[in-house]
Structure 1
Amino acid sequence: MTFVPEPPDPDDGRAPYEQVASSLRAAIRTRRLGPGEKLPSHARLTELYGFARATIQRALRDLEDEGLVVSRKGSGVYVRNRTERPAGLRPYVEQAFAKDVVTIDFAGFSSETLHGALQEPLDKIRVGRLTPSSIAVRILVPDMSVPQAAPVRMEDGADDERLRERMRDIMVGYTRSIRDGIAELEHLGLVADTSINVRVHSGTQFFKLYVINNEDAFFGYYPIRPNKVVSQGKTVEIYDLVGKDTTLFHHSINDVEPSGGAQQVQQARMWFDSVWETIGRDFDLDAR
């Protein structure tokens, strides 16, 4: 299949080489350019993107530095055979919104990373560059009204209601923003149907999981590390779950290698649905 990139966004403020690198990176992550596949020539990429040859060369160098492509003298530039693990979430989320029906299930601690990954596709819907007809998001998080294994005070490992209230406020802040941003698209008539549902459970969430369009699953662990936070005006030393830079491992139903990708996605969906439908309890983001 001939590779055809999305046209450059005239409102994208990044340098041209960053735009090209981002476009090719997304194509590789979502397998529009598959493992081992040869990229179009420099001349062809210059024609496709409308940028100077030096811009294309700089973008390809960046992708080579990231380990996504390899340059073979006298032959061309190829996608590396193994680029699927670890993976970045953002390009897959952006690609998901190119489909008519978008579904995202998230299980984790605060939804901060999901919030960040959603901003660009939501902006593209607002300006008419993406046009899904429905978006459904389910968010599954720990119930911070009950004690958790973490966060806890470092000095004695004890539960502290102030820490749970802080985490609850962080989760509610990011999740409300996701809800309001997606609901706005329906109010503006840009997406016909949207739903954002949140449920809580009593267990501590030691990992994060994303299932996107029932085709891709991302899994990563939350390490527990010492941290200092300010809660109710006081500095508290705690053992905290840290997830912003967690390495995510990707599995896809379209995996061509014998890695069990389809089974991994199926099991991720099964786990999420089982918790959601049994011990998950509806959570009102606007309640106090």
Structure 2
Amino acid sequence: MSFSPEPLDPDDDRPPYEQVARSLSAAIRTRKLAPGEKLPSHKTLTEMYGFARATIQRALRDLEDEGLVVSRKGSGVYVRNRTERPAGLRPYVEQAFSSQHVSIDFAGFSSETLHGALQEPLDKIRIGRLSPSTINIRILVPDMSVPQAAPVRKADCADDPRLRERMHDIMVGYTRSISDAISELSHLGLVAESNVSVRVHSGTQFFKMYIINEQDVFFGYYPIRPNKVVAQGEVVEIYDLVGKDATLFHHSTNDGESSGGAQQVEQARMWFDSVWNTIGRDFNADGR
């Protein structure tokens, strides 16, 4: 077995099983452990990491719950093939911040999921466990000052300015929070350079997409479903874009230059830049 894990951080205060799980998941994401490859035995992992067998078992259960590995009775634990189950976004975002130069492009509806995925790596920068030199985040969202295909009133599928105002406020809240958190890191001297840019476009956003360090892309669709919301003090039944728990599909340049994954990443970057540089309009979170 050629796999050799990266040394664990002695100052990491997370439980040992989480440290092992994060180490193995990073190895899977960077293809040090390839799809379909068998992981070292429990005994070997125990020797590699220096933790008890129970710790290794707990870490492997977490990886299985995350959809990164599969346990085959009597055979061992294997890295899942990419086609078996989509991977999670958060570990890839955290791994991106281990690089000196971090770039994240997001196209979607409100940036709520991006906001959540950034919290842990930003906390680690604050306490000195991660130390990127530059952070550049671009956020591309629909312009809620103009009518959209959704959200709309359920009764007649008609545009309702109150719904757009509600979504505008949600989007502003998350994008402003992301921008403030990244700016704080620069002001504290924890990151040499940082930038968060937001642009809007007039089209309805039916999918969400993340481009992480120009190497990994996550893509998922927003289903439209009935919902009830409060808009300006009134309960309104609507058809809404639901994306918080949307399934995300992963594509990576690590799959090889001629692979479908690498081509997906190239096309995603091309699409994002084309919209950003043409019909995207600068947006100030403190105004429209």
* TM-score, length of structure 1 as denominator length: 0.91
Aligned-residue offset at 1:3: 2.8
Structure 2 runs not aligned, ≥5 long: none
Residue type of the partner of 1:4? P
Aligned-residue offset at 1:23: 4.0
Aligned-residue offset at 1:40: 3.0
Relative distance call for 1:95 and 1:66 in structure 2 (3 A) is closer
Relative distance call for 1:240 and 1:138 in structure 2 (3 A) is same
Relative distance call for 1:33 and 1:83 in structure 2 (3 A) is farther
1:56 aligns with 2:56: yes
Relative distance call for 1:66 and 1:121 in structure 2 (3 A) is closer
Aligned-residue offset at 1:258: 6.8
1:199 is matched with 199
Contact kept? 1:253, 1:262, Cα under 8 Å: yes
Which secondary structure does the structure 2 equivalent of 1:209 belong to? strand
1:2 aligns with 2:3: yes
Aligned-residue offset at 1:256: 4.5
Relative distance call for 1:257 and 1:287 in structure 2 (3 A) is closer
Task: Kindly provide the CA deviation profile for residues 19-59 of structure 1, in whole angstroms up to 9, marking residues without a partner as x.
Answer: 53344334323433221333233234334444321121233
Aligned-residue offset at 1:259: 4.7
1:11 is matched with 13
Task: Kindly provide the CA deviation profile for residues 71-103 of structure 1, in whole angstroms up to 9, marking residues without a partner as x.
Answer: 456664321333675121111111111111111
Residue type of the partner of 1:114? L
Give the whole-Å Cα distance in 2 for the aligned partners of 1:156 and 1:7: 57
Contact kept? 2:5, 2:23, Cα under 8 Å: no
Aligned-residue offset at 1:217: 1.0
Structure 1 runs not aligned, ≥5 long: none
Relative distance call for 1:97 and 1:238 in structure 2 (3 A) is same
1:223 aligns with 2:223: yes
Task: Kindly provide the CA deviation profile for residues 90-124 of structure 1, in whole angstroms up to 9, marking residues without a partner as x.
Answer: 11111111111111100000000101111111111
Give the whole-Å Cα distance in 1 for the aligned partners of 2:46 and 2:10: 12
Give the whole-Å Cα distance in 2 for the aligned partners of 1:213 and 1:274: 18
2:33 is matched with 33
Which secondary structure does the structure 2 equivalent of 1:254 belong to? helix
Contact kept? 1:136, 1:195, Cα under 8 Å: yes
Query: How does 1:66-85 map onto structure 2 within 5 Å?
Result: 67-71=67-71, 76-82=76-82, 85=85
Aligned-residue offset at 1:64: 3.7
Relative distance call for 1:66 and 1:94 in structure 2 (3 A) is closer
2:131 is matched with 131
Give the whole-Å Cα distance in 2 for the aligned partners of 1:169 and 1:118: 20
Relative distance call for 1:190 and 1:142 in structure 2 (3 A) is same
Give the whole-Å Cα distance in 2 for the aligned partners of 1:74 and 1:148: 54
Number of aligned pairs?
Answer: 286
Query: How does 1:147-166 map onto structure 2 within 5 Å?
Result: 147-166=147-166
Residue type of the partner of 2:264? Q
Deviates more, 1:47-56 or 1:266-275: 47-56
Give the whole-Å Cα distance in 2 for the aligned partners of 1:102 and 1:257: 21
Contact kept? 2:221, 2:246, Cα under 8 Å: yes
1:211 aligns with 2:248: no
